[in-house]
Amino acid sequence: GTLTKGSFAVSCIKSQKLSEEVLLAVLAAVESYSNHPIARSIVSAADEKYKKFLVSEVKEISGMGISALVENRRVYVGNHRLMRSIGYSIKEDELSSVHIAISGEYAGCVELSDEIKEETKEAVLKLYKMGVKDTYMLTGDKQEIAEKISEAAGIKNVEASLLPDEKVKA
């Protein structure tokens, strides 16, 4: 079954020039125009501070992110593909990351992680108590994400980046 809640939380803020709090607030100001679960998580993490910014000319860029004017400064918020498309050499994310560029400068990113269900650890512990020697997690998530989840859940073995038929085969 699914080990995580399917809801994201901001786990790390990496800012180039702005304070982490301001970077998160600008991100949230733009993301407040999206209903995507990741956007909702960023808005929630900003704790209403994003509301102080004037946002206009919001445009969704399908599959990549959002462009907007924030306090009359062009802001791009989105994934590594969006950042590449506007001229930044951002490598593909190992984690779920949302990047931001402000007025032609890369400003930073936030990393997000899914939270483990409370009952996941308990279920894995029960398996060990029942005599199960090895536990495995088979997932479509990237390796780094899968390792963090399996470690938090107490699962010993992980196979990541699997397609559904590869999970069945494994």
Distances (CA, A) of 102 to 2, 59, 69, 89, 164: 37, 15, 9, 15, 39
* 36-56 average pLDDT score: 91
The pLDDT, as a whole number, for residue 148 is 85
Q: How far apart are CA 58 and CA 74, in angstroms?
A: 10
β-partners of residue 59 are: 67
pLDDT at residue 146 is higher than 90: no
In contact, 81 and 64? CB cutoff 8 Å: yes
The whole model's pTM is what?
0.72
pLDDT band at 169; cut points 50, 70, 90: very high
* pLDDT tens readout for residues 48-81: 888 999 999 999 998 889 999 999 999 999 988 8
pLDDT band at 4; cut points 50, 70, 90: confident
